[in-house]
Amino acid sequence: MLVALGLIALIAGAIGLTSFATGYVIYIVNLVMVAIVLALGLHIVIGECGQFSLAHAAFYGIGIYTAGLVTNLLGAPFWLSLLAGGLVAGLIGFFIGFLSLRMRDIYLALSTFAFGEAMQWLFLNWTPVTGGPNGLNIKPATLFGFQFLTDRAAFPLVLSVTLVILALVAVLHVSTLGRSLRAVRESEIAAASVGINVTRMKLTAFTLSAFVAGLAGGLYTTFSTFIHPDSLGFQTTIIILTTVVVGGMGSLIGAVGGAMVFGLLSELLRQVPSYQEMIYGGILILFMMYAPRGMFSFVGRR
């Protein structure tokens, strides 16, 4: 009940912003909601299934470029470009997961890190498709003939999609699939002993995580009409990882709360770009040492 009331208050506060906030503030709120979707995607593979992935920013970039290209080349409506971004990222995530999940622990992390770096190189050098170092201009998103030309116009759509994805991940958490994923997280041997297909569960988590990251990328194109490969590098991966770990691994509330805190913090730290990775790394180390359950673990205990 407390969580539901908090979520209702959050929605009401976000909607209230549209009546008096400046365009820049609404842009930040839109970015925070994209960060929430990204955190929910990583929560599925790390928090629910316990598999360490460093490729989340790559799947996010795949979703952005796919949705942007579908919009630019086909003039497709928003919902089609959004689904295209999610499906392409999910398909690639399935393939990468099929190869990488044969490994464990540090080897899994290194293989996904290598894929993320390879995609960063591709975004930066596949100039005819991605625009390369010049970036890619994306046409405004459309829905039922209406163009989302401003952050304020895109806000209701971004909020709606974010809430739908949050609801679906919450349903996953309490479903049989969610319980199977957490069983694999706690003990692969125990999960296999009760008939759970461990490999299938890992691959499902990896694919769903990539799909949600692709949706986050498609959602980003509703209010931003430009993307540059520099914003999809390892620093973005560190921010997303810090969001989930510091918020509270395995906690849906932790993923959402962490995304809100670090979504705002990342905007504040734009003034000191040279120190961002150091600051995020320090925060991550401190929480892993002194508060491993995360910033919002008290919500679960209550």
The answer to whether residue 17 is domain-embedded is: no
The answer to whether residue 291 is domain-embedded is: no
The answer to whether residue 237 is domain-embedded is: no
247-276 pLDDT, tens per residue?
A: 888 888 888 888 988 888 888 887 777 777
Helices (H), 221-291: 234-248, 252-268, 276-290
**Strand extents, DSSP E, the chain:** 136-137, 142-143, 146-147, 226-227
The answer to whether residue 2 is domain-embedded is: no
Among 177, 198, 184, smallest CA distance to 49 is for 184
Number of domains in the chain: 1
pTM: 0.90
The range of the structural domain enclosing residue 130 comes to 30-232
The answer to whether residue 263 is domain-embedded is: no
On whether the CB atoms of residues 229 and 133 are closer than 8 A, the answer is yes
Q: Do β-strands 226-227 and 146-147 pair in parallel, antiparallel, or remain unpaired?
A: unpaired
The answer to whether residue 3 is domain-embedded is: no
Among 53, 10, 54, smallest CA distance to 33 is for 10
Q: What is the CA radius of gyration of the chain?
A: 19
The answer to whether residue 146 is domain-embedded is: yes
List of the chain residues with pLDDT < 70: 1-19, 297-302
In this prediction, residue 302 carries a pLDDT of 45
88-144 pLDDT, tens per residue?
A: 999 999 999 888 877 777 788 888 989 999 999 999 999 988 888 898 999 988 888
What average pLDDT is seen over the chain? 86
Whole-angstrom CA distances from 110 to 1, 54, 57, 107 are 41, 8, 15, 5
**Strand extents, DSSP E, 109-239:** 136-137, 142-143, 146-147, 226-227
The answer to whether residue 89 is domain-embedded is: yes
